[in-house]
């Protein structure tokens, strides 16, 4: 059944139309948050609510930037935790995935399943024990602990993604390098890693976004203001800024921006990796 | 786990150099950091939680109570209720995410001109945090000032969705699906792209409609991915707390109180850490059962 | 990726790693340096004050350091986290603060979990003990007679109302309210707004209704006993309020959105209490006058004759009930600096300081000498003092207070949003469930 030109036009219009609709729905809450963040206080609570501000102002942002610790401490902490966590997770996961992918040993499959099975544990389960451990080690309110917890949480996913990636890279390439005199680790670093860059970027981005947005662990472990992350700081705003939604939304937008930027930077690799089948299982 | 068909062409045997006796330990070295971290920060806390579920904490001291926490839990109508709420939530969440996700993937697979732009825009909900998403959606549906509530007022006869048990459940499901769609669609898209175009084209030439070719050709080929996504979506739905907590705090009168939210309330708000740990164990077992159930599906199909 | 861009990529990664490591060590050092004499945990943002409450703490901490030379550091936690975190810290023998500011309705939670230190000896032998009102001490006393906290201020629940919407004053009983509500509905306004869900609803709005209807919350052993005709009467009334749209539905949702209706004069009255004082701004009177003076908005509106105060709502023949509650200080088990904490408490328990506490919170100071200060002679304060004297009733005694109150509150919400359910049956089910699930 060859499609006629008219049918093709109908197809294009309907596909584009549906996709536009989906995009609008996806973006709407964020867009509304964005426009709300530019409203002055008296325009925030209006009946009927307006989408666009009558008067564009940055007072919400000023309030957040100058009167709260969001920029000074919270976002910095969030960055340190998220970046540190994701880089280390990927580094450790690369080693583990390589081992699983290239070596056959007894218990390999079982171990992989067990590691993946850790995802089934509800996130709240480990909070109290982890808190106890942290306080005994004196690591509450530190970045080191947060990063460690994030690594532990992110390893199962990352190993799974990276292993699938490594599996798709023929072993002949590193073997060639090894015959030429490279050790296994060298061949990993110089041959496999560059080839699997999209997979590593994927794992990195997934972990980065997840750690950046993480809330429950952060709110439990972090009490001191200087140690809090952005999501925890935002939650603390509730009591302070009850009806100042424009300030809330300004804070939300500021928290989202770095992640969106990071995402835009690496999006090609990310999409490429997933479309290549990094997550097919 | 099911391997890609293309991988059979790739040799995964141990490299020649590594077969020497010394290098047999290489995989162990490579796995060491992972194992250490996972043992210390995932396995140990989990086992400690299980231990905690048989205790009660008072003034910092653990008091052994055996299975009392579990007994009390299963006698607690509110817990049973929360399980029901979880089932409803996860059910709707699953159905909507999978179906709409698949639809979006199919649309993106058509490779229209602006596809890369669409993909970027579609991904925005994924980068938004639980707390931020909860805040945003709450703002949208606020009774007097929420913009979507305003638009819906003529249809709902001015009833505020947010303050209504069913309404708040709808909002919670919508918000969760909204956040889950980007990733799901992308994974499905990846899977759809491995369906060879020639097969589809020849089917089209044989007169198959697009729906038929999807259900008879594409879908069976991507079934493994579909099952994996289902597993992860179910687990995510059962464990999800952040979004619901921020959005409704358990809903008007406990209407959106899933087991995850109830776990938070028991452990945190009431300080009953022992019982909280018991709920965690129960939730884990439910996750496990669900996963095994899905995997069973997969095994049956591949064998049959 | 080609070679150059990959090397660049690796370089960027290394640079960012160095930055991260620097960040980690730098920030850790900062937090280590911040450990000084006493640490308090409160809900108040003393670092950048947003309300009069925050401002009071900021001023008091500065004055404390100036007067005594001791350092006191405040850590601010959100109101919905602070109690859980204190409990978590104590139970995990973790990062326990030296001193914590607590609200009296959470005392039962802390007692149940053994979180606080017994302060009976400290309080009874303190110089300011005789100066405290008996009801404030009672609000700090556990069922076994031990004093677990030191009261700072005493709160009261009452009604704020717009005089122009209730020309004959706020209705004395629920019957009168229903009549006025019908009138206001015709004008397109809500009669009342209040917190209608979660524990808070039972401690404020429903508290007075329950007591005046003769409904009991509990029995003498701390078990639930709320399945009685009095409670059913309250539920019927609340159902009417929502069904006829005399109260906004948002009252059933989480958060404080219900206050907006009163702040914008869409509702004639707000059933709340002295704690709302600091948060009710900006206010817009029914005639459009705006009061945007921060914490003074309420008193300005009252002075202008637009806003009035009334005792809590009751059923005919009943007496209003205002929760006998305090905001005060407690020392968690495991506090590292008990002496320092006690010194700080002694500082706070001075007439002038306690008076300022009262002013900042809109509540009456717990110290009688502080109450005698001139500032408390105004209308608002007279109302609060009068309501406390005449109508204070202690909060219900339930063994697992939070769990029980939440169960009852959720039952209320459920019954209101599903008008076809039988109140007695649901109440009984919730009651049995709670009693059976106790340890």
Task: For B58-127, give the secondary structure using H, E and C.
Answer: ECCEEEECCCHHHHHHHHCHHHHHHHHHHHHHHHHHHHHHHHHHHHHHHHHHCCCCCHHHHHHHHCHHHH
Share of chain B above pLDDT 90, in %: 23
Query: E strands, A20-69, where?
Result: none
Q: Is C284 helix (H, G, I), strand (E, B) or coil?
A: strand
Judge if the upstream peptide bond of residue A48 is cis by omega within 30 degrees of 0. Answer: yes
Range of the domain at C271: 157-323+397-436
Q: What is the model's pLDDT at position C9?
A: 61
B27-77 per-position pLDDT tens digit: 788 888 899 999 999 999 999 999 999 988 887 788 898 888 898 888 888
| One domain for residues C335 and C315 | no
| One domain for residues C99 and C223 | no
pLDDT band at C31, cuts 50/70/90? Answer: very low
On whether residue B77 sits in a domain, the answer given is: yes
Q: What is the model's pLDDT at position C35?
A: 36
Please tell me the total count of domains within chain B.
2
Contacts A93 to B, Cβ<8 Å = 34
Cα–Cα distance, C282 to C289 (Å, whole number) = 11
Q: Which residue in the block uniquely carries the two structure tokens 């159905």?
A: B95
Contact C152, C329 (CB under 8 A): yes
Q: What is the model's pLDDT at position C417?
A: 85
Contact C291, C285 (CB under 8 A): yes
| One domain for residues C168 and C240 | yes
Share of chain B above pLDDT 70, in %: 89
How many Cβ atoms sit within 10 Å of the Cβ of residue C266? 17
Enclosing H/E stretch for C364: strand C364-365
Q: What subunits touch chain C, counting only 3 or more CB pairs under 8 A?
A: A, B
- Mean pLDDT value across residues A107-123: 86
Contact B101, B188 (CB under 8 A): yes
Burial of C398 from C-beta contacts in 10 A (0-12 / 13-18 / 19+): buried
Range of the domain at B84: 69-303
Residue B235 dihedral angles phi and psi, to the nearest 5°: -60, -45
Higher pLDDT, B86 or A8: B86
Poorest-pLDDT segment among A33-37, C7-11, C125-129:
C7-11
C133, pLDDT greater than 60 = yes
Which tokens belong to B17? 């150099």
On whether residue C17 sits in a domain, the answer given is: no
On whether residue B58 sits in a domain, the answer given is: no
On whether residue B244 sits in a domain, the answer given is: yes
Q: Considering C363, C378, C393, which residue would you say is the last residue of a domain?
A: C393
On whether residue C175 sits in a domain, the answer given is: yes
Q: Is C270 helix (H, G, I), strand (E, B) or coil?
A: strand
Q: What is the model's pLDDT at position B219?
A: 82
C157-193 per-position pLDDT tens digit: 999 999 999 988 898 899 999 999 999 999 888 999 9
Cα–Cα nearest to C404, from C424, C427, C422, C387: C427
C380, pLDDT greater than 70 = yes
| One domain for residues C148 and C258 | no
Is B122–A23 a contact, with Cβ atoms under 8 angstroms apart?
Answer: yes
Cα–Cα nearest to A49, from A32, A34, A63, A61: A32
Note which residues in 194-223 of chain C have CB less than 8 A from chain B: 197-198
pLDDT band at A156, cuts 50/70/90? Answer: very high
Cα–Cα distance, C98 to C194 (Å, whole number) = 35
| One domain for residues C150 and C59 | yes
C8, pLDDT greater than 80 = no
| One domain for residues C332 and C305 | no
Is A79–C23 a contact, with Cβ atoms under 8 angstroms apart?
Answer: yes
- CATH code for the domain of B153: 1.10.3720.10
Is B143–C407 a contact, with Cβ atoms under 8 angstroms apart?
Answer: no
Please tell me the total count of domains within chain C.
2
Which tokens belong to C220? 């003498």
Bridge-based pairing state of the strands C190-194 and C267-273: parallel
Q: What is the model's pLDDT at position A236?
A: 75
Q: Does A194 touch chain C (CB under 8 A)?
A: yes
Q: What is the model's pLDDT at position A247?
A: 84
| One domain for residues B146 and B10 | no
Q: What is the mean pLDDT of chain A?
A: 83
CA C151 and chain centroid, separation: 14
Residue in B26, B46, B150 nearest the CB of A121: B46
Is B38–A155 a contact, with Cβ atoms under 8 angstroms apart?
Answer: yes
CA A144 and chain centroid, separation: 19
The 3-state secondary structure of C288-308 reads CCEECCHHHHHHHHHHCCCEE
- Mean pLDDT value across residues C413-430: 90
| One domain for residues C61 and C114 | yes
On whether residue C27 sits in a domain, the answer given is: no
Q: What is the model's pLDDT at position A177?
A: 78
Residue count of chain A, please give it.
281
| One domain for residues B9 and B93 | no
pLDDT band at B302, cuts 50/70/90? Answer: low
| DSSP state, residue B265 | I
On whether residue C425 sits in a domain, the answer given is: yes
C209-228 per-position pLDDT tens digit: 999 998 888 888 888 999 99
C52, pLDDT greater than 50 = yes
The 3-state secondary structure of A88-130 reads HHHHHHHHHHHHHHHCCCCCHHHHHHHHHHHHHCCCCCCHHHH
Q: Which of B29, B30, B126 to mutate to test the interface with A (most CBs of A within 10 A)?
A: B30
Q: Considering C360, C377, C393, which residue would you say is the last residue of a domain?
A: C393
Q: What is the DSSP string of C182-222?
A: HHHHHTT-EEEEE--SHHHHHHTHHHHHHHHTT--SB-TTS
Contacts of C128 (CB under 8 A, 6+ apart): C346, C349, C350, C367
Q: What is the model's pLDDT at position A211?
A: 92
Q: Does A131 touch chain C (CB under 8 A)?
A: yes
| One domain for residues B242 and B189 | yes
- Mean pLDDT value across residues A20-25: 90
Q: What is the model's pLDDT at position A280?
A: 54
Nearest CA in chain A to C18: A84
On whether residue C164 sits in a domain, the answer given is: yes
On whether residue B86 sits in a domain, the answer given is: yes
Higher pLDDT, A7 or B1: A7
On whether residue B190 sits in a domain, the answer given is: yes
On whether residue C127 sits in a domain, the answer given is: yes
pLDDT band at C13, cuts 50/70/90? Answer: low
- Mean pLDDT value across residues A169-195: 79
| One domain for residues B135 and B260 | yes
| One domain for residues C300 and C221 | yes
Q: What is the ipTM of this complex?
A: 0.85
Q: How many angstroms separate the CA of residue C154 from the nearest CA in chain A? A: 21
On whether residue C225 sits in a domain, the answer given is: yes
Q: What is the model's pLDDT at position A149?
A: 93
pLDDT band at A240, cuts 50/70/90? Answer: low
| One domain for residues C317 and C329 | no
| One domain for residues B172 and B283 | yes
Contacts C197 to B, Cβ<8 Å = 252-253
| One domain for residues C305 and C362 | no
On whether residue B63 sits in a domain, the answer given is: no
Contacts of C393 (CB under 8 A, 6+ apart): C207, C211, C321, C322, C323, C324
- CATH code for the domain of C316: 3.40.190.10
Q: Which of B271, B275, B276 to mutate to test the interface with C (most CBs of C within 10 A)?
A: B271
Q: Does B277 touch chain A (CB under 8 A)?
A: yes
On whether residue B200 sits in a domain, the answer given is: yes
| One domain for residues B35 and B73 | no
On whether residue B61 sits in a domain, the answer given is: no
A-C contacts (CB, under 8 Å): 102
CA B135 and chain centroid, separation: 20
A41-59 per-position pLDDT tens digit: 777 777 677 788 778 888 8
Is C252–B269 a contact, with Cβ atoms under 8 angstroms apart?
Answer: no
Q: What is the model's pLDDT at position C36?
A: 46
Angle in degrees, CA A222, B281, A152, rounded to 5: 45
Share of chain C above pLDDT 90, in %: 29
| One domain for residues B208 and B139 | yes
Contacts C90 to A, Cβ<8 Å = none
| One domain for residues B32 and B132 | no
Share of chain C above pLDDT 70, in %: 92
Is A227–C31 a contact, with Cβ atoms under 8 angstroms apart?
Answer: yes
| One domain for residues C187 and C308 | yes
Q: What is the model's pLDDT at position C378?
A: 84
Domains and CATH numbers, chain A: 31-275 (1.10.3720.10)
Q: What is the model's pLDDT at position B93?
A: 95
Q: What is the model's pLDDT at position B22?
A: 44
Which tokens belong to C13? 């990664």
Enclosing H/E stretch for C389: helix C379-391
Q: Is C40 helix (H, G, I), strand (E, B) or coil?
A: strand
| One domain for residues C201 and C312 | yes
Q: What is the DSSP string of B122-142?
A: HTHHHHS-HHHHHHHHHHHT-
Q: Does B59 touch chain C (CB under 8 A)?
A: yes
Q: What is the DSSP string of C112-129?
A: HHT-B---HHHHHTSTTG
A187, pLDDT greater than 60 = yes
Q: What is the model's pLDDT at position A84?
A: 93
Q: What is the model's pLDDT at position C12?
A: 67
C389-403 per-position pLDDT tens digit: 888 888 888 888 888
Higher pLDDT, C5 or C365: C365
Q: What is the mean pLDDT of chain B?
A: 82
A208-239 per-position pLDDT tens digit: 999 999 888 888 888 888 888 888 888 877 65
On whether residue C14 sits in a domain, the answer given is: no
- Mean pLDDT value across residues A250-278: 82
Q: What is the model's pLDDT at position A163?
A: 87
| One domain for residues B29 and B113 | no
Q: What is the model's pLDDT at position B100?
A: 93
Q: What subunits touch chain B, counting only 3 or more CB pairs under 8 A?
A: A, C
Which tokens belong to C40? 């308090």
Q: How many angstroms separate the CA of residue B240 from the nearest CA in chain A? A: 8
Burial of A54 from C-beta contacts in 10 A (0-12 / 13-18 / 19+): exposed
- Mean pLDDT value across residues C91-118: 89
């Amino acid at each position: 059944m060859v499609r006629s030109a008219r049918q093709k036009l109908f197809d294009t219009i309907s596909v584009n139309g549906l996709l536009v609709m989906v995009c609008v729905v996806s973006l709407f809450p964020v867009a509304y948050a964005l426009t709300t963040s530019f409203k002055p206080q008296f325009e925030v609570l209006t009946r009927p609510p307006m989408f666009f501000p009558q008067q564009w102002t940055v007072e919400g942002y000023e309030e957040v930037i100058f009167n709260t610790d969001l920029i000074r401490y919270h976002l910095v902490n969030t960055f340190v935790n998220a970046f540190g966590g994701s880089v280390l997770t990927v580094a450790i996961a690369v080693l583990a995935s390589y081992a699983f992918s290239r070596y056959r040993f007894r218990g390999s499959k079982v171990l992989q399943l067990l590691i993946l099975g850790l995802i089934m544990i509800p996130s709240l389960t480990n909070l109290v024990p982890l808190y106890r451990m942290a306080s005994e080690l004196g690591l509450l309110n530190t970045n080191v602990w947060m990063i460690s917890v994030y690594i532990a949480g992110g390893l199962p996913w990352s190993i799974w993604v990276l292993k699938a990636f490594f599996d798709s890279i023929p072993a002949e390439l590193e073997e060639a390098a090894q015959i030429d005199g490279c050790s296994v680790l060298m061949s990993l670093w110089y041959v496999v890693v560059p080839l699997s860059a999209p997979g590593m970027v994927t794992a990195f981005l997934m972990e980065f976004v997840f750690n950046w947005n993480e809330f429950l662990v952060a709110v439990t472990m972090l009490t001191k203001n200087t140690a809090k992350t952005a999501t925890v700081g935002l939650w603390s705003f509730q009591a302070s800024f009850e009806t100042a939604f424009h300030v809330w939304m300004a804070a939300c937008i500021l928290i989202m921006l770095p992640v969106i930027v990071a995402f835009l930077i690496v999006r090609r690799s990310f999409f490429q990796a997933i479309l290549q089948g990094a997550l097919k299982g | 786990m099911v391997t890609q068909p293309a991988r059979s062409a790739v040799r995964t045997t141990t490299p020649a150099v590594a077969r020497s006796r010394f290098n047999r330990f290489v995989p162990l070295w490579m796995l060491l950091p992972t194992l250490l971290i996972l043992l210390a920060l995932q396995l140990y806390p989990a086992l400690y939680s299980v231990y905690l579920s048989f205790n009660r904490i008072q003034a910092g001291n653990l008091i052994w109570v055996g299975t009392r926490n579990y007994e009390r839990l299963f006698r607690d109508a509110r817990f049973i209720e929360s399980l029901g709420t979880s089932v409803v939530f996860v059910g709707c969440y699953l159905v909507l995410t999978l179906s709409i996700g698949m639809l979006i993937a199919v649309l993106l697979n058509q490779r229209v001109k602006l596809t890369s732009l669409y993909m970027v825009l579609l991904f925005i909900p994924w980068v938004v945090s639980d707390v931020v998403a909860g805040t945003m959606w709450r703002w949208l549906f606020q009774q007097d000032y929420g913009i979507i509530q305003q638009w819906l007022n003529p249809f709902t006869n001015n009833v505020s969705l947010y303050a209504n048990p069913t309404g708040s459940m709808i909002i919670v499901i919508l918000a969760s699906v909204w956040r889950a769609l980007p990733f799901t669609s992308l994974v499905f898209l990846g899977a759809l792209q491995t369906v060879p175009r020639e097969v589809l084209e020849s089917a089209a030439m044989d007169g198959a409609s697009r729906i038929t070719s999807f259900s008879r050709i594409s879908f069976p080929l991507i079934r493994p991915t579909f099952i994996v996504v289902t597993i992860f979506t179910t687990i995510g739905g059962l464990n999800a707390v952040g979004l619901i907590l921020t959005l409704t705090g358990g809903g008007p009168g406990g209407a959106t109180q899933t087991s995850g939210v109830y776990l938070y309330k028991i452990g945190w708000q009431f300080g009953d850490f022992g019982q909280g740990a018991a709920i965690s164990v129960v939730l884990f077992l439910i996750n496990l059962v669900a996963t095994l159930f899905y995997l069973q599906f997969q095994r049956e199909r591949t064998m049959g | 990726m080609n070679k150059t861009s990959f090397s660049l990529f690796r370089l960027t990664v290394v640079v960012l790693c160095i930055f991260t490591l620097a960040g980690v060590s730098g920030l850790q050092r900062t937090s280590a340096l911040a450990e000084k004499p006493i640490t308090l945990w409160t809900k108040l943002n003393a670092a950048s004050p947003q309300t009069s409450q925050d401002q009071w703490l900021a001023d008091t901490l500065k004055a404390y350091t100036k007067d005594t030379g001791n350092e006191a550091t405040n850590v601010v936690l959100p109101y919905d986290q602070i109690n859980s975190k204190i409990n978590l810290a104590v139970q995990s023998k973790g990062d326990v603060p030296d001193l914590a500011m607590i609200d009296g309705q959470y005392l039962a939670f802390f007692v149940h979990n053994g979180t606080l230190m017994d302060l009976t000896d400290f309080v009874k032998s303190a110089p300011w003990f005789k100066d405290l009102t008996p009801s404030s001490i009672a609000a700090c006393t556990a069922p076994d007679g031990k004093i677990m906290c030191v009261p700072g201020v005493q709160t009261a629940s009452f009604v704020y109302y717009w005089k122009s919407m209730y020309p004959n004053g706020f209705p004395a009983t629920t019957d009168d309210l229903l009549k006025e509500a019908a009138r206001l509905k015709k004008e397109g306004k809500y009669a009342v707004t209040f917190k209608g869900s979660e524990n808070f609803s039972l401690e404020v709005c429903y508290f007075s209704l329950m007591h005046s209807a003769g409904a009991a919350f509990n029995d003498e052993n701390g078990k639930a006993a709320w399945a009685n005709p009095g409670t059913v009467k309250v539920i019927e009334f609340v159902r009417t309020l929502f069904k006829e749209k005399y109260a906004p539905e948002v009252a059933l949702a989480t958060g404080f959105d219900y206050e907006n209706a009163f702040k914008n004069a869409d509702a004639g009255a707000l059933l709340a209490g002295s704690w709302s004082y600091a948060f009710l701004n900006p206010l817009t009177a029914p005639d459009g006058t705006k009061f945007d003076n921060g914490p003074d908005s309420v008193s300005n509106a009252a002075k202008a004759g637009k806003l009035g105060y009334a005792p809590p709502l009751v059923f005919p023949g009943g007496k209003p009930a205002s929760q006998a509650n305090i905001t005060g200080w407690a020392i968690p088990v495991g506090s590292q600096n008990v002496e320092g904490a006690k010194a700080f408490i002694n500082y706070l328990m001075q007439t002038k300081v306690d008076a300022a506490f009262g002013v900042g919170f809109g509540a009456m100071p717990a110290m009688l000498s502080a109450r005698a200060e001139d500032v408390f002679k105004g209308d608002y304060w007279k109302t609060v003092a009068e309501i406390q004297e005449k109508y204070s009733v202690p909060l219900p005694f339930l063994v697992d207070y939070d769990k029980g109150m939440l169960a009852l509150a959720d039952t209320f919400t459920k019954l209101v949003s599903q008008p076809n359910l039988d109140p007695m049956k649901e109440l009984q089910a919730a009651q049995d469930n709670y009693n059976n699930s106790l340890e």
